Structure 1
Amino acid sequence: MNNKPKRPDRCAQTNPIIWLILIAVIAAVALSAGLIFLRRESSKVPVKAARPHRTDAIAAKVKKMSTEEKVGQLFVVTPDQLTGLTTVTAGDTTRDRVKQYQPGGLIYFDDNLKDPAQTKKLLADTKQIYADLGLPTPFLAVDEEGGEVARVAHNRAFGVQNVGDMRDVGATGDPAKATAVGNTLGTYLSDLGFNLDFAPDADVLTNPANKIVARRSFGTDAELVKQMSAAEAKALSAHGVIPCLKHFPGHGATTGDTHAGTAATDKTLDQLMQAELVPFNNVNAYAPMIMAGHIATPSITGDDTPACLSKQMVTDVLRGRLNYKGVVITDSLQMGAVTQSTDSGQAAVAAIEAGCDLLLMPKDFPAARSAVLTAVQNGTISEKRLNASVTRILKCKAKLNKTAGLK
């Protein structure tokens, strides 16, 4: 045990006044630093205030557009429908017609596409015409599924691989094969200047007698078709090419050819939900566009109205039951299933009323555009309804690049 007397604690001997002074100094320094920090922070401009959300920018763009400009955005037509000629170049005539009608996009076929150099110039010049006129970036579209539907690959001058029938791709049961298809298509289409491909075919082949999509479909298994079409769509998107799933509500259960006339399925909605509609359900994450076909569904609608002209099918089923938020485009409005019972103007208005956003190739484009414009002006199609479609279209175009549609 240590019995030495304890030394006095030096801290205890310190004058309390000194402690008070030290505490005051520390507090003053801390307060000063805090005020400087707050002043610096308050001088910063919030990021969100400096960079408005893209949705707000699109809304502002739509608000500034004239009714004529908005109506123009609803149409995707061939360049020949604009010029009245087989179009292989985009010059003064194309410029004049684009300025007059302001279509939202153009679709190109075999006669428009001669070789890589000509096609690249045609598409680049067309895109520049839109830019010079201050119009939103156009959809530059093509039907390039592979196999029997290949506007580019069928032409040997392009020297690209035809990816073959999706029936054979689906038979592998491997979605990676569909990804490879999307990568191949996306590579050569984007290189040429296309930004929209009407592919993949998401039809489920439930009717063995169907000859229209037999080779174009990934197969008979609805879940596999969904996996395959999703894989191809994602790959196309990765190359800057917008994919378009088709043909809602499913061509695989039919036997008729909508190019010539009516094609119908007698299935009920519940039955379609078990197969044909599976590839179109819950696809917002990877399908910015869906093509509504001309398939009639009398067990659902009670008549032979083509799906793309039926509000019950587009609005109630596709947008309602399947919760689809993207752009809906009609199949070609020149096809017999439409033209046998209605004219171009009536079909165009009916498709918008049904819930479609884009009108593909009406037989008489000027008449169809005039009919939609008149319908908006007289209130048959409300301004709110028109704005909803134009907003979806510009959002889709905004996926192409940061400024698409927002000039």
Structure 2
Amino acid sequence: MYGLIAQGKVPRTLAVTTLALTALILLAGCVASAANEDSEPATEFDNVEDPHQPQPPSTVPAPAAPKPALTLDERAAEKAAALTLEQKVAQLFVVTPEAITEVGTATQAGEATKEALAAYPVGGLVYFKKNLLSADQTREMIANSQTYAQDACGLPLLVGVDEEGGTVSRIGGNPGFAIPNVGNMADVGATNDPTQAQAVAQTIGGYLCDLGFNLNFAPDSDICGNPATDVMALRSFGTDPALVSDMVSAQVKGFANAGVLCCAKHFPGIGGMTGDSHEGAIVTQNTLDELRIGELAPFEAAIEADVPMVMVGHLTAPNAFGNDVPASLNPAAVTDLLRGELGFQGLVITDSLSMGAVGDFCTPDQAGVMALLAGADLVLMPEDFASAYRGVLDAVCAGTLSEDRIDQSVMRIVKAKLALDES
């Protein structure tokens, strides 16, 4: 065609049209070629990824590292901070169930106990032989009380008993229990074998734990004076400070192995003293140096064995402490000697404040305050619980007793309870 045009044999209009079409075809080919050079051929499904192509890294965040577990101190601080002042003050008392329920003799824990613990979430309850009828009854009573205590303030109770063996035994030898009495500690001491003392403690601790108790007010750490006249003669391991120290240390280990808190008593040592603190004042003329080489030795051994609690007795020692204040209420005995010189960091509990040695010295509303000011953490069995509880609250409100001082003891109490739950 192009040759015909050149020769002039094709009409001019047809030639122009032909040339225009040819140009358009050439132009379209160039555009298509350029497009093919700049793009990939489309697939059937545009959103399907090519499995042969490397994939971008995942954008899912890594799981957060677990928070470190709280220490015992931190958990105790949280628990203590959640308590009201009234609840903290109640935690400082260990009382009989009758003291808060006002029943004649408590042998079960029901609605009265539930209401009492809601009103007064005390730190602990102590049971005597009259409360303990059988193994099943005891387990149920303690289990119910623990449930009510947890509901009241989120903390368990210290559930205590005097189970030394021999003349001081609430369960061993009790007709309601198929548990023999382990015998007097004087006889255990006479074996001169600390392993015997440890085995006895493990036996006692074992049946106490089985029944629901977590605190035993033993071992007796007093040194016997004259076995013929000393009221502690059968309860003490003996007259030799070294022997008594070895026996006490062994029993602390035995109770720990059984999983029950124990309590060395009666600091600074009431063996060999005349009189009975249940009835009135008991006095020693010993100096502090004389106490150090005698009566204090078993308590030092107990502390060395990590005893968790020490009970302070009502001994008056004017030559050792410079006044006639009973040791349980005396800062010179508790703060200066037990805490300071002997370095004891565990729980300090008074002997029963319902005893004559205290009642002759101060009123019930003063006794708890004096014990706490002296350095005690736990007030045992005040003569009138309601009066003693109100006395402590009033002292805090008046500034006589600081809330910081209350908090120190509450922290020790809460730590001991949380540690028990973990054991």
Q: TM-score range by the shorter chain?
A: 0.7 to 0.9
Contact 2:101 2:112 in 1 (8 A): yes
Using a 3 Å threshold, how does the CA distance of structure 1 residues 291 and 379 change in structure 2: closer, same or farther?
Answer: same
Deviation at residue 129 of structure 1 after TM alignment:
1.0
User: Is 1:83 matched up with 2:101?
Assistant: yes
**Residues of 2 paired with 1:318 and 1:89: CA distance?**
37
Match of 1:61 among 64, 79, 85: 79
**Residues of 2 paired with 1:401 and 1:376: CA distance?**
30
Deviation at residue 64 of structure 1 after TM alignment:
2.3
Matched to 1:353, the amino acid is: L
**Residues of 2 paired with 1:315 and 1:265: CA distance?**
20
Match of 1:158 among 144, 152, 177: 177
**Residues of 1 paired with 2:248 and 2:392: CA distance?**
33
Contact 2:230 2:272 in 1 (8 A): no
Matched to 2:101, the amino acid is: T
Deviation at residue 210 of structure 1 after TM alignment:
4.6
Contact 1:264 1:295 in 2 (8 A): yes
CA deviation profile, 1:252-296 (whole Å, cap 9, x unmatched): 131110000011111111110101001112615421000000011
Matched to 2:184, the amino acid is: D
**Residues of 2 paired with 1:262 and 1:307: CA distance?**
11
How many pairs were matched up?
A: 360
CA deviation profile, 1:184-217 (whole Å, cap 9, x unmatched): 1011111111110000001112455652211100
CA deviation profile, 1:211-266 (whole Å, cap 9, x unmatched): 22111001112122121112112111222210000000001131110000011111
Q: Name the residue aligned to 1:28.
A: none
Deviation at residue 341 of structure 1 after TM alignment:
2.2
User: Is 1:370 matched up with 2:393?
Assistant: no
Matched to 1:149, the amino acid is: V
Within-5 A mapping of 1:315-354: 315-354=335-374
CA deviation profile, 1:146-177 (whole Å, cap 9, x unmatched): 00000112412201111111011011110000
Contact 1:244 1:288 in 2 (8 A): yes
CA deviation profile, 1:2-59 (whole Å, cap 9, x unmatched): xxxxxxxxxxxxxxxxxxxxxxxxxxxxxxxxxxxxxxxx98737xx42121111112
Q: Name the residue aligned to 1:267.
A: 286
In our comparison, the structure showing a higher alpha carbon Rg is: 2
Deviation at residue 66 of structure 1 after TM alignment:
1.1
Matched to 2:331, the amino acid is: K
User: Is 1:186 matched up with 2:205?
Assistant: yes
Q: Name the residue aligned to 1:36.
A: none
Q: Name the residue aligned to 1:13.
A: none
SS at match of 2:176: helix
**Residues of 2 paired with 1:142 and 1:208: CA distance?**
26
Q: Name the residue aligned to 1:387.
A: 407
Q: Name the residue aligned to 1:33.
A: none
User: Is 1:218 matched up with 2:237?
Assistant: yes
TM-score normalised per structure 2: 0.82
Q: Name the residue aligned to 1:26.
A: none
Q: Name the residue aligned to 1:302.
A: 322
**Residues of 2 paired with 1:212 and 1:96: CA distance?**
40
SS at match of 1:401: helix
SS at match of 1:157: coil
CA deviation profile, 1:61-94 (whole Å, cap 9, x unmatched): 2222211111011000000111111100101111
Within-5 A mapping of 1:227-238: 227-238=246-257
SS at match of 2:197: helix
Using a 3 Å threshold, how does the CA distance of structure 1 residues 43 and 129 change in structure 2: closer, same or farther?
Answer: closer
Matched to 2:72, the amino acid is: R
Q: Say what the alpha-carbon RMSD is for the aligned residues.
A: 1.6
Match of 2:147 among 128, 131, 138: 128
Identity %: 46
Contact 1:206 1:252 in 2 (8 A): yes
**Residues of 1 paired with 2:362 and 2:350: CA distance?**
15
Match of 1:280 among 274, 299, 304: 299
Q: Name the residue aligned to 1:51.
A: 69
**Residues of 2 paired with 1:377 and 1:63: CA distance?**
18
SS at match of 1:107: strand
TM-score normalised per structure 1: 0.85
**Residues of 2 paired with 1:263 and 1:133: CA distance?**
39
When structure 1 is superposed on structure 2, of 54-63 and 369-378 the one drifting more is: 54-63
Structure 1: runs of 5+ lacking an equivalent: 1-41
SS at match of 1:203: coil
Q: Name the residue aligned to 1:356.
A: 376
**Residues of 2 paired with 1:45 and 1:253: CA distance?**
61
